[in-house]
């Protein structure tokens, strides 16, 4: 079968993975927007959320047959909610422990990155110790099967669930940033933190909430990711780097850019993985990253959160 035959299937798969990258990428972009730094430990927030959601779903799952109907919906919702909560808690603690003390001292940017790397090492390996170092599947929360076809491509229940949940989150986040007072605060801090302080924005609060929102998204995204690819202590790294790539691709600090970047990267990777070898999929993402940084470091949309030029 040639590429043309597979095109739509690859597109559907790419869209699904891409929507997850987009969800994670938002965490990078939001934090970058308010603090101008890369939250290197974001991938661990994602991982912890995945485990949280997985354990919750497993705990609530009644024994016996695969659930269906409302039970499935409830279980997926519970997994998403607990995953999001765990992600938010992890992001909150991360901000408290690894970032805030440095901010108090107005440390150089390098220090934040290093501190985040330390936190990431700590979290990954602690998770490996507590939860074991093997892949952990999410139990079946619904009967997976082909739901319908699009141009001959099979669309599974799983794909619909993941894509649907991701799109809902993306839309909610977009509304949040564009419409709410908190979103206004985030945009104000992103534009000019010093002035935002003078205008009465509680910058500390905005920073914490930004981390928490990023954590909510990453945690829920982690659960969705684990439904497709299993969970493991080191699951965060690769999607983390890819989501970062997506954020840069769209223009880091730009909310819609991160969404666009995630979807594009998912597609590129899906097509590329078919054309080349699947084992070089990760290389493709890195090459995309390096390529963008060389050619257009400001990304496709380029506009920073709330910044006009």
Partner 1 sequence: MLTPARLRQLWVCLALGVLAAVVTGPGGDSAHPFRALRRSVVDPRIGIFIGLAVGLWVLLIAVARLRPLLAEVTAAARARRPVAAALGGPHATTGLNAVLLAAAIVAPLLVSTAAQQSMVNDIGIYALLALGLNVVVGYAGLLDLGYIAFFAIGAYVTAYFSSSSAMPWHAPFVINPFFVFPIALLIAALAGVILGAPTLRLRGDYLAIVTLGFGEIIQLLANNSDEVTNGSRGVFGVPHLSVDLPGIHYRWGIDPLPYYYLLLGIVVVVMIAFGRLERSRIGRAWAAIREDEIAAEATGVPTLRMKLLAFAIGASVSGFAGVLLATKQFFNPQSFSLQSSFLVVAIVIFGGMGSRLGAVTGAVVLQGLAFYLRDKVPPTDRYIYFGAVIVVMMIFRPQGLVPSRRRRREIELAGTTAGASDQLGAAPIGRTIT
Interface residues toward partner 1, by CB under 8 A = 35-38, 40, 51, 55, 97-98, 101-115, 117-126, 128-134, 136, 193-194, 197, 203-204, 231, 237, 241, 244, 248, 279-280, 282-283, 286, 289-290, 293-294, 297
b/e burial code for range 259-290 (CB count within 10 A of at least 16 → b): bbbbbbbbbbbbbbbbeeeeeebeebbeebbe
Closest distance between partner 1 and the C-beta of residue 290, in Å? Answer: 6
Q: Would you say 73 or 107 has its CB closer to partner 1?
A: 107
Closest distance between partner 1 and the C-beta of residue 168, in Å? Answer: 28
Residue with tokens 């290093």: 114
Report d(CA 294, CA 87) in Å as an integer: 32
Question: The tokens of 137 are what?
Answer: 């599947």
Question: The tokens of 124 are what?
Answer: 């990954």
Q: How many CB atoms lie within 10 A of CB 98?
A: 22
Closest distance between partner 1 and the C-beta of residue 113, in Å? Answer: 6
Instruction: List the beta bridge partners of residue 17.
Output: none
Q: Would you say 104 or 181 has its CB closer to partner 1?
A: 104
Q: Would you say 153 or 300 has its CB closer to partner 1?
A: 300
Q: Would you say 143 or 195 has its CB closer to partner 1?
A: 195
Closest distance between partner 1 and the C-beta of residue 156, in Å? Answer: 25
Closest distance between partner 1 and the C-beta of residue 176, in Å? Answer: 22
Q: Would you say 124 or 268 has its CB closer to partner 1?
A: 124
Q: Would you say 18 or 33 has its CB closer to partner 1?
A: 33
Instruction: List the beta bridge partners of residue 136.
Output: 231
Closest distance between partner 1 and the C-beta of residue 173, in Å? Answer: 22
Residues 6+ apart with CB under 8 A from 62: 71
Closest distance between partner 1 and the C-beta of residue 164, in Å? Answer: 27
Question: Can you point out the beta strands (E) in 63-191?
Answer: 146-150, 153-156
Nearest CA among 170, 146, 150 for reference residue 159 = 146
* Cα dist from 125 to 9, 44, 198, 234, whole Å: 36, 10, 42, 8
Q: Would you say 121 or 172 has its CB closer to partner 1?
A: 121
298 touches 251 (CB < 8 A): yes
């Amino acid at each position: 079968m040639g590429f043309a035959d597979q095109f739509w299937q690859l597109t559907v798969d790419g869209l699904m993975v891409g929507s997850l990258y987009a969800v994670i990428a938002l965490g990078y972009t939001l934090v970058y927007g308010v603090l101008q730094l890369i939250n290197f430990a974001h991938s661990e927030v994602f991982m912890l959320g995945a485990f949280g959601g997985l354990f919750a779903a497993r705990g609530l799952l009644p024994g016996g047959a695969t659930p269906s109907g409302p039970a499935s919906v409830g279980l997926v919702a519970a997994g998403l909610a607990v995953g999001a909560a765990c992600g938010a808690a992890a992001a909150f603690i991360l901000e408290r422990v690894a970032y805030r003390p440095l901010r108090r001292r107005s440390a150089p940017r390098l220090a934040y990155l290093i501190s985040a790397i330390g936190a990431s090492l700590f979290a990954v390996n602690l998770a490996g110790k507590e939860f074991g170092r093997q892949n952990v599947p999410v139990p079946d929360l619904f009967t997976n099967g082909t739901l319908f076809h699009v141009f001959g491509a099979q669309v599974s229940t799983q794909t619909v669930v993941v894509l649907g949940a991701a799109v809902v989150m993306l839309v909610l986040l977009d509304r949040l940033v564009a419409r709410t007072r908190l979103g206004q605060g985030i945009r104000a801090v992103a534009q000019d933190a010093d002035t935002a302080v003078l205008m009465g924005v509680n910058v500390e609060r905005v920073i914490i909430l930004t981390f928490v929102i990023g954590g909510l998204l990453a945690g829920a995204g982690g659960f969705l990711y684990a439904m497709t690819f299993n969970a493991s202590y080191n699951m965060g790294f690769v999607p983390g780097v890819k989501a970062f790539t997506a954020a840069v691709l769209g223009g880091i600090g730009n909310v819609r850019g991160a969404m666009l970047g995630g979807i594009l990267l998912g597609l590129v990777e899906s097509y590329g993985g078919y054309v080349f070898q699947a084992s070089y999929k990760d290389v493709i993402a890195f090459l995309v990253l390096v390529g963008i940084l060389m050619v257009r470091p400001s990304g496709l949309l380029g506009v920073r959160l709330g910044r006009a030029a």
